[in-house]
Amino acid sequence: MSSIAMNKPGTTVLLMGNEAVARGAIEAGIGVAAAYPGSPSSEVLPAIAGVAKEMNIHAEWSVNEKVATEVAAGASFAGIRSFVVMKQNGVNVAVDFIVNLNMTGIGEGGMVIFVADDPGGMTSSNEEDSRTITKWLDNPLLEPSSAQEAKEMTKWAYELSEAVNLLTFVRGVTRISYTKSNVVLGELPERREKKAYFPELWDMYNPKKSKFTSGPFPIYHKPLHEKLEKAREIFETSTFNRYRGPENPDVLVITCGACTSYCTEAVDELRAGDRVGVLKLGTTWPLPEKLVAKHLSTTKKVLFVEEMDPFVEQSVMELAASLLPTTCDLTFYGARSGHLTPYNEQSTNLVINALMDILGTTYQPRDLTYDREAKEAIKIVPNRPINMCPGCSHRATFWAVKKALQLDGRKGFLCGDIGCYSMGFAGPGFFQSRTMHAMGSGTGVANGLGNLKHFGFDQPVLAITGDSTFFHATMPALVNGVYNNSNFILLIVDNSATAMTGFQPHPGTGQLATGEQATVVDMEGLCRAIGAEVKVCDPFDLDNATATLLGMMQQDAGVRVIIMRHMCQLVKDKRKIPRKYKMHVDSEKCLADTCGCDMLCTRLFGCPGLMVDRETGKASIDEALCVGCGLCTDICPANAIIREEAIG
């Protein structure tokens, strides 16, 4: 989307929240942007990278979020405004560096992290509120309520960051990142050819002079708290905090972020605008206490509406406690009272329900007879489980794993990891993955399991990792395994992309975030240099992949790596690589229910390209979905699925 770089202030364009954030950073005049892909934040960096050249920005996919934050800090130290983007899990990775960075302070260039949280975990392996982390880190926090505000806040965050000399967080959620809406563009900065320069001042006992090394710590910790107080002062008058409603509302709703529009919609839907006021906070940490105290004095009932942790709720209640006895007749509603949940997403309907209870009103969204009929109709609607794409190479890998483990017969198992292949713990991966936690953790856990021989442990241990995940966090675990003489097999499923998050390049792909050519980091050579035995297979050569894996399993010593290399089907589609086979099912050979295979192809193997013909009960190919990878031919015990070389 080229509108990101459009220099027409005042123009209205349709932008996804993530693109608006990118635009905000560009309007702020950033010189460096670094990120690791993670939905719902994945689209921010590509939007910046797309205009990096013309705007003189260095934009990179870093190998992980800690390195990304360090890259940005380097720029800040040398006076350049820098930007880091990550999802909630990424904050966990970056935190170790940030704690230390807060002690020294940033450089002259403002530094901002945009983190996208994922209430409900729609695109995540967990549900986590990163705001709580920014609080204990002592960093200022802004929460946008729309794409427009996401742009404005990202831009303003640089002024704040420089004013208080602290890394500043802008925290969005999935609904902000992935909602497209009208955004009015601001001005783009002049292309500056600013000289980056690392300052020379150094005096260990003067935190104002010492740059970028910290200690003695109390001397450095104190100014950190002073900086935060300064941020609080600035927040007291920020226009990102707004109130809509009567002077003395029966109920004061305190909200932030995506929930803001849920609250105003709920008030409108209930026609309760004369009874309910909405205080929307954009600056949620540190809390603008004077502003909030003023509003608390106007009401007797307060409802908190926010997603996940009762973050604002707790800060405001702490404030109310400090204001006793003036606040003693306030009643609080929210997560603590059970009116809303401290997990999952909120919605306008959930806010309506909470308000109905507090106000004692009723609400009927639609005709009651219709409602009954709808509830009747839902009974025939089946669930739709997620699946790997037709032609996905992971399906082949998991099939080989399943086969090899069966043939080996020692109750071996696979430790899972994060990516499309996470689906390995469920039907699409034939339930092969038995653990799944953080990036790279499958290999770490395998390290531990593989060193239990002297406790009689004799099950083969496999771990799986994606190519991008390998560089992010698996590498140290592999080194650890070799060094400590653990016993496991690492499968690297190398499909040439960070597929789950949108096919971003990584160090093994030979491409930079900007699309330019990069040095290929040789994964195979790297594993060998670490000291592991390495074999490479194409999982679509199913027999060979299974046999290789089985052979390696039976060596039963040391750390062995098997790289399963085959391009992600969607990357093939993007590159317009033609299909390999034309598929059909020989209905003479497919014996359906009488075969004894129990419809292995559709029920167990489960490629979406296969279906059961309603009339005959036999397998057939869904030509709208099949991509002609040919894999199913190899799994049908009756040889009924026929592949022919596709021509043209």
Residues that bind ligand SF4 (CB under 6 A): 388-392, 394, 420, 495, 499, 568-570, 583, 607, 609-610, 621, 626-632
Letters for 543-582 (x = contact with another protein by CB under 8 A, - = none) are ----------------------------------------
Residue 232: closest CA among 140, 143, 153: 140
Q: How far is the CB of 269 from ligand SF4 (least distance, A)?
A: 39
> CA-CA distance, 115 to 68, in Å (whole number)?
13
Question: Minimum distance from CB of 613 to ligand SF4 (Å)?
Answer: 14
| Among residues 23, 66, 171, 175, the one that binds another protein under rule CB under 8 A | 175
Q: Which of another protein, ligand SF4, none interacts with 473 (beta carbon under 5 to 8 A by kind)? A: none
Buried b (16+ CB within 10 A) or exposed e, 570-601: bebeeeeeebbbbbebeeeebbbeebebebbb
384 contact choice in another protein, ligand SF4, none (CB below 5 to 8 Å, kind-dependent): another protein
Out of 196, 356, 521, 625, name the contact with another protein by CB under 8 A: 625
> 604 is in the binding site of which of another protein, ligand SF4, none (Cβ under 5 to 8 A by kind)?
another protein
> Minimum CB separation from another protein for residue 158, in Å?
25
Closest to 54 (Cα-Cα) out of 110, 17, 7:
7
Could you say which of ligand SF4, another protein, none residue 237 binds, taking C-beta under 5 to 8 angstroms by partner kind? Answer: none
Residues 333/355, Cβ–Cβ less than 8 Å: no
**Helices in 217-296 by DSSP H: which ranges?**
217-236, 259-269, 289-296
Q: Mutual orientation of helices 217-236 and 147-164 as an angle, nearest 10°?
A: 140
**Is 347 or 633 the residue whose CB approaches another protein more closely?**
347
DSSP H or E run through 14: strand 12-16
Q: Which is nearer to another protein, 40 or 466 (CB)?
A: 40
Closest approach, Cβ 349 to another protein, in A, equals 5
Which of ligand SF4, another protein, none does residue 274 bind to, with CB < 5 to 8 Å depending on kind? none
Q: Which of 245, 106, 114, 94 is nearest to 167 (CA)?
A: 106
Q: Which two tokens stand for residue 225?
A: 């708290």
Q: How far is the CB of 574 from ligand SF4 (least distance, A)?
A: 10
Q: Does 96 bind another protein (CB under 8 A)?
A: no
Which option in ligand SF4, another protein, none does residue 359 bind, with CB closer than 5 to 8 A by kind? none
Q: Which region holds residue 327: left if phi is over 0, alpha if psi is between -120 and 50, else beta? A: alpha
Q: Which CB, 284 or 501, lies closer to ligand SF4?
A: 501
Q: Which is nearer to ligand SF4, 102 or 393 (CB)?
A: 393
Pairing of strands 581-585, 32-35: unpaired
Q: Using CB under 8 A, which of 56, 100, 181, 544 touches another protein?
A: 181
- Rule CB under 8 A: say whether 347 interacts with another protein: yes
Preceding amide of 507 cis, omega within 30: no
Q: Pick from 62, 69, 82, 123: which binds another protein (CB under 8 A)? A: 123
Q: In angstroms, rounded to a whole number, what is the distance separating the alpha carbons of residues 512 and 56? A: 16
Contacts with another protein by CB under 8 A: the residue count is: 64
Smallest gap, in angstroms, from Cβ of residue 562 to another protein?
24
In angstroms, the CA 607 to CA 108 distance is 54
Strands 251-256, 301-305: pairing kind: parallel
- Which three-class secondary structure state does DSSP give residue 581? strand
List 621's β-bridge partners, or say none. Answer: 610
Which positions ≥6 away from 212 have C-beta within 8 Å?
A: 77, 104, 107
In this chain, which of 418, 500, 537, 597 binds another protein, going by CB under 8 A? 500
- Where do contacts with another protein occur on this chain (CB under 8 A)? 12-14, 39-40, 122-124, 146, 148, 174-175, 178-182, 258, 261-262, 265, 269, 347-349, 365-367, 370-371, 373-375, 377-378, 380-389, 420, 422-423, 427-428, 500, 599, 602-604, 606-608, 611-612, 622-625
